[in-house]
Structure 1
């Protein structure tokens, strides 16, 4: 009996003595896991810092410097403080560019979102060739921007454009609108083209969100009389709200910095009627070669994007809480 108790005590001591040995092994495995995670994250972090972080910081610093073409030879960019911002904010073109930016962004977002949502809801019902037609709607998104604007510039041409030729075939229509050369119609034409380019993005994201809504909700709502518009208001829209938030925020941020569409169609004219902050920043930087003021305009555009994102996200969160 004594031998049995002695064996148990020996086993207990051996077990107790072996317990501390497993801790370093577990700690070693955790350390190796952390090192592997860091190794996988390091390239992505380095890429973000190099191609996103550095340009943003460099642009902010340039906004406070007299950065011109001579800087590339001398390496000197004197610190001017807020002079660049004072110059661009007091310029005669800035007020017009700011108003055009707001109108262009608001008109484009409303048109893209409404038409994209309507098309997405339409394609939620399956019918023959729905997949083929849905793929055709993606074509504006796939065409290179320069090629698309060149085609639209030909379509909207005053004398030989397809649109004006079709209008002349209609009864009681004798005028040929100057879509791209009129100070009152140029911005409308540019907004229309940008809406056409942005519909595929809105439709694709919203269609994906609609597919995630269970059909059981519509069946249960139909039993309570929620069909048609009522089903959209009380079922579709609340369930689609997170996707709508992503679409609107990304859409506004992207539209604020649209450059190629305007340059390809009107080049900011006529008489600055389609000049936005983005195109003005491009003109100041690469035509007047004042990179400091161009960077200041770019920083103002970034602040506008951040302000909209913060305000909209807070309003949307408050609406969800209520």
Structure 2
């Protein structure tokens, strides 16, 4: 007969499921149907259409023909790849737009703003955050038309300000359209980077900066030697996310309509023109598949970095 006390005996733990598998499947069924109808089916339908010559009008609207890789070969035709209005030109232009707007614009501006507001009074910090976040949450259509009114050649606010200080006005949407959409997208998207980096800086123990103050370190030295090394993971996450968002952005269409002379026709705008203005659904679907593959590459990089960070923690 055992003399082991009752308190020392191991207790048997039973797992009781709140719902049976059948009941859980019934609750998940509506969500699964929605995902299937609006995500999975369109995904495979776009891939199928990209191998056809489907159009909106004409004989191929009802009876599209299978053309294999013809749409993809047309997009990557070396003879026209670098011409304005072609896929290659839009892809290169989008790459330049991502580098200037996302990497050098949004990330850098958001990082600088996040660092500067760490040292300002709380009232100023709240005011800056309000203005920056306002640019982020306002509808894109409102922001687009506000910037169009700001840059208008005849009655725009910017030209009025230039005239008031004796400087000549300019038609910025016509003369410098690419840099206009870069500045526009940077101004709008820097809020996300600022909020992310602001949270990252706030997570650093204040004792680190206090020790640096005792050692006589300047603000730049604290930023370089303490701030940047400790938020390196947040910087990588921010760069990947804003790169994906900037690559797919469509808002510059509200300012320039892709012009003048295709000088601001990003890949997303090119896809819109081919599919919904030229009615070439097969070619537009091929562009969409290529964009999905590029986004998939960014997503895989983001997931791999996330797994590394989880393993290190």
TM-score by length of 2: 0.80
The residue correspondences of 1:9-28 to structure 2 (distance < 5 A) are 26=14
CA distance in 1, matches of 2:153, 2:271: 29
Deviates more, 1:125-134 or 1:246-255: 125-134
Deviation at 1:284, TM superposition (A): 0.6
How many pairs were matched up? 294
Identify which of 280, 291, 302 aligns with 2:292.
302
Deviation at 1:161, TM superposition (A): 1.4
Deviation at 1:46, TM superposition (A): 5.2
The answer to whether the 8 A contact 1:156-1:179 is kept is yes
User: Corresponding residue for 1:103?
Assistant: 96
User: Corresponding residue for 1:65?
Assistant: 52
Give deviations 1:287-319, integer Å, cap 9, x for gaps: 11111111111222222333455568879979x
Identify which of 170, 174, 177 aligns with 1:181.
174
Q: Does 1:123 pair with 2:117?
A: yes
Q: Does 1:81 pair with 2:75?
A: no
Deviates more, 1:117-126 or 1:301-310: 301-310
CA distance in 2, matches of 1:224, 1:112: 32
Deviation at 1:55, TM superposition (A): 2.8
The answer to whether the 8 A contact 1:64-1:84 is kept is yes
CA distance in 2, matches of 1:40, 1:211: 40
User: Corresponding residue for 1:155?
Assistant: 150
Structure number with greater Rg is: 1
The answer to whether the 8 A contact 1:63-1:293 is kept is yes
CA distance in 1, matches of 2:113, 2:292: 31
Deviation at 1:165, TM superposition (A): 2.2
Indicate the SS of the match to 1:138. Answer: helix
CA distance in 2, matches of 1:26, 1:313: 35
The answer to whether the 8 A contact 1:245-1:313 is kept is no
User: Corresponding residue for 1:4?
Assistant: none
User: Corresponding residue for 2:196?
Assistant: 205
CA distance in 1, matches of 2:41, 2:197: 33
Q: Does 1:293 pair with 2:288?
A: no
Q: Does 1:191 pair with 2:186?
A: no
Please provide the CA RMSD for this pair: 3.4
Gaps of at least 5 residues in structure 1 are 1-7, 10-21
User: Corresponding residue for 2:7?
Assistant: none
CA distance in 1, matches of 2:39, 2:285: 15
Q: Does 1:166 pair with 2:157?
A: no
Deviation at 1:94, TM superposition (A): 2.0
TM-score by length of 1: 0.78
User: Corresponding residue for 2:133?
Assistant: 138
The answer to whether the 8 A contact 2:237-2:302 is kept is no
Gaps of at least 5 residues in structure 2 are 3-10
1:74–1:295: structure 2 CA closer, same or farther, 3 Å change rule? closer
User: Corresponding residue for 1:5?
Assistant: none
Deviation at 1:37, TM superposition (A): 6.8
The answer to whether the 8 A contact 1:96-1:273 is kept is no
1:70–1:273: structure 2 CA closer, same or farther, 3 Å change rule? closer
